[in-house]
Amino acid sequence: MKAQKIIFSIAIACFVITGCKKEIQEVKKENVALAISGMTCEIGCAKTIQSKLSKKEGVLSAKVVFTDSIANIEFDANTTSKKELIAFVDGIAGGELYKASETSKKVNSSSNKKAECCKKDSKGNMTCLEDCKMACCADKKS
């Protein structure tokens, strides 16, 4: 009788141990570009949003480009969704400052912006577009 209890206990323990293993899902990588309004500065706003996004569960990488008001986010679709990311950004700072929406525009870095707005003319002088916000053009507009 004692042997049966021991065997029965071992059998139950084996079933519990093998039955409780979690299945490991593969990471389903997706990308989204969010247009973020309400940012007023690069360090206080853009870096804060980027930092909070990077720490969110399911976010693999996040890059916020202040000059374009765009956040490029790579995330695991098994863990989070585009709607959750938009709601997360909207909720940063109490939900009062930022408003995010999905956009098709993606920006890799702010250095690409300089090439678009700052060009050399035929004399070799740098010319800037009227709406250029890059540092190289800000000095010329003053």
Q: What is the pLDDT of residues 103-121, one digit of tens each?
A: 887 665 444 444 456 666 6
Do residues 89 and 127 both lie within one domain? no
Question: Looking at the 3D structure of the chain, how many domains does it have?
Answer: 2
- Structural domain span for residue 34: 29-109
42/72 same-domain check: yes
- Tell me the per-residue pLDDT of 4-42, one tens digit each, with 9 for 90 and over: 888 888 878 777 777 666 667 788 899 999 999 999 988
Q: Pinpoint the alpha helices (H) of the chain.
A: 2-19, 47-55, 82-91, 111-117, 135-141
Residue 88 CB: number of other CB atoms within 10 A?
19
Q: Are residues 82 and 38 part of one domain?
A: yes
**In a domain? residue 49:** yes
Note the pLDDT of residue 114.
45
120 and 73 fall within a common domain: no
Cα separation of the two ends of the chain: 95
pLDDT tens track for 48-98: 999 999 999 999 999 999 999 999 999 999 999 999 999 999 999 888 889
Q: Are residues 33 and 99 in the same domain?
A: yes
